[in-house]
Amino acid sequence: MLGTLVVGLGRAGGGLHLPVLRRLGHGSGRALGRPPIVVVDPGVVVPVAPDLLVATNLAHAAALVDPERTAVHLCTPPNARLRPLTELADLGFRRIVVEKPLAVDEVELAAILRLRAAADLDLVPVAQWRCSELTRRVRAVLRGGELGAPRSIVFTQSKPRFGRTVSGDEHPSAFDVEVPHSLAVALRLAGPAAVTAAGLTDMLLGDAVFSGLGGAWLRLRHDSGVRTEIRTDLTAPVRERRITVELEHGTLVGHYPVSAADEYSQLVVRTRGTQSHSVFRDDSLTAFIARAHQHFEGTNPMLDEPATGAAVVTLLAGAKRLAAGRVPVGAAR
């Protein structure tokens, strides 16, 4: 069984990964990782706990665990990936879950992929919606073929994100917040794609303008012929994570959980004259982290990573280039 190291204890590391790792480590029949969990974030005061060991830096962490037998969760901000990955590789760590997106641009992506090859890293970018029960059910309908071929996919993501933006959580743009999740699902459902259009909006808060952090949108054309549109609004007063799939003979409307407060998804299947509605538990991050550790243990390999994570970065880079030619305005509705 592998040990576990969490690097970065912000919203992703401390608020999401660490609680899941603790639950899986204590869950009946779902034990994950050798206790204790080692954590590193010099800027955070970590409460004393019997299941945690606090390292002052990565070199200290490497002295507390065996790097060759440890799964790392790299949860640093999006613009701080390459440096800690390089240090982790130099210390002998090889198995690394990387928070989304894998890189902020194609230049950094190329450097990370070179490092991966040189150091023989096993990188798994975070893409928990791919392990979502809702995604599995949507994919099952598409593969079953009863409703015909898919024609279009639309993702709508809305949430108010004023506080975290004002505090400066180092996300470069709205493309880097929610969009990577949807892109990974779109690629899983409809295959490889190219960006055909994209745009960004600013966040307006009083007299303050946060450039490119109000919202984002992009359109994809898949090699399969399916068209995808993704829209995210980080100034919305309500939360929503919705997927709509139009097929030849019906429509799927799915709602992903909007937070850990209520981990249930919903799926509506509409055909001519009929409609079904199902509600089901959908803890996708727990499912993803468990699957990533199975991959590292060799019991359930993820054969398409980090290729899918790299494709997400490439598509995001293309969207950012297209959006740069547009004049951002107030938050889109």
Partners of 133 in the beta sheet?
A: none
pLDDT value at residue 240: 96
Q: Which domains are present in the chain?
A: 3-125 (3.40.50.720), 129-282+306-324 (3.30.360.10)
Confidence of residue 26 (pLDDT cuts 50, 70, 90): low
DSSP string across 64-81: HS-GGGEEEEE---TT-S
pLDDT digits (tens, 9 = 90+) for 270-318: 998 899 999 999 999 999 999 999 999 999 999 889 999 999 999 999 9
Weakest-pLDDT range from 36-45, 94-103, 180-189: 36-45
Q: Tell me if 186 sits within 8 A of 179, measured CB to CB.
A: no
Counting residues of the chain whose pLDDT is more than 90, the rounded percentage is: 80
Q: Please, which pLDDT band fits residue 28 given cuts at 50, 70 and 90?
A: very low
Question: By CB neighbour count within 10 A (0-12 exposed, 13-18 middle, 19+ buried), where does 114 fall?
Answer: exposed
Give yes or no for residue 29 having a pLDDT over 50.
no
Distance CA 204, CA 227 (A): 31
Mean pLDDT of 245-263: 93
pTM above 0.85, yes or no: yes
For residue 303, the surrounding DSSP H or E stretch is none
Residues 232 and 99: their CA atoms lie apart, in Å, by: 19
Q: Average pLDDT of 90-109?
A: 95
**The predicted structure's pLDDT at residue 284:** 95
Identify the three-state secondary structure at position 238. Answer: strand
CA angle 143, 265, 177 (to 5 degrees): 90
Token pair 């994919």: residue = 139
Compute the distance between CA of residue 116 and CA of residue 124 in angstroms, rounded to an integer.
Answer: 11
Name the 3-class secondary structure at 122: strand
